Amino acid sequence: MTNKLWASAVVLCFLNLTLEVRDGVGMTKENPRVCIVGAGYSGLGTARYMKDYGVDFKVFEATKHVGGTWRFDPHVGTDEDGLPLFTSMYKNLRINTPRLTMEYTGFPFPEGTQSFPTGECFYKYLKRFAKQFDLIKHIQFQSYITSIKWDKNHWNVTYTKVDTKENRSEECDFVVVSNGEFSTPIWPKFEGQEAFKGKMIHSHDYKDPEDYRDRRVLVVGAGPSGLDLAMHLSNVTSRLVHSHHLKYNQPFFSDTYIKKPDIQLFTSNGVFFQDNTFEEIDDVIFSTGYEFAHPFLDRSVGITATGKFLLPLYQHTVNIRHPTMLFVGIPKKVLNSVIEAQGEYAAALAAGKFKLPSQEQMLKAWLAHVRVMKARGLKIVDVNVIGSDMDNYFANLTAEAGIYRRPKVLTAIRDFNAVFRLENLLTYRDYDYKIIDDERYEKWYNPRPGNPCPLND
Q: Where are the domains of the chain?
A: 3-184+291-409, 193-286
Say if residues 365 and 13 touch (Cβ distance below 8 Å): no
Q: What is the pLDDT along the chain (457 residues), one digit of tens a residue?
A: 455 555 555 545 544 554 343 444 545 577 899 999 999 999 999 999 999 999 999 999 999 999 999 999 999 999 999 999 999 999 999 999 999 999 999 999 999 999 999 999 999 999 999 999 999 999 999 999 999 999 999 999 999 999 999 999 999 999 999 998 888 999 999 999 999 999 999 999 999 999 999 999 999 999 999 999 999 999 999 999 999 999 999 999 999 999 999 999 999 999 999 999 999 999 999 999 999 999 999 999 999 999 999 999 999 999 999 999 999 999 999 999 999 999 999 999 999 999 999 999 999 999 999 999 888 888 899 999 998 899 999 999 999 999 999 999 999 999 999 999 999 999 999 999 999 999 999 999 999 999 999 998 7
Burial 318-343 (b: 16+ CB within 10 A, else e): bbbbbbbbbbbbbbbebbbbbbbbbb
Length of the chain equals 457
Distance of CA 378 to the CA centre of its chain: 21
DSSP-derived pairing of the beta strands 239-243 and 257-260? parallel
DSSP class of residue 261 equals -
What pLDDT score does 5 carry?
Answer: 52
Say if residues 315 and 345 touch (Cβ distance below 8 Å): yes
| Fold agreement (3-184+291-409, 193-286) | yes
Query: In angstroms, rounded to a whole number, what is the distance separating the alpha carbons of residues 302 and 59?
Result: 23
Smallest CA-to-CA distance from 270 within 204, 196, 326 is with 196
The CATH superfamily holding the domain 3-184+291-409 is FAD/NAD(P)-binding domain (3.50.50.60)
What pLDDT score does 369 carry?
Answer: 93
3-state SS of 124-151 is HHHHHHHHHCCCHHHEECCEEEEEEEEE
CATH architecture assigned to 193-286: 3-Layer(bba) Sandwich (3.50)
Instruction: Provide the 3-class DSSP secondary structure of residue 244.
Output: coil
Residue 60: how many other CB atoms lie within 10 Å: 23
Query: In angstroms, rounded to a whole number, what is the distance separating the alpha carbons of residues 351 and 317?
Result: 16
What pLDDT score does 257 carry?
Answer: 98
Amino acid at position 398, single letter: T
What pLDDT score does 43 carry?
Answer: 98
pTM to 2 decimals? Answer: 0.94
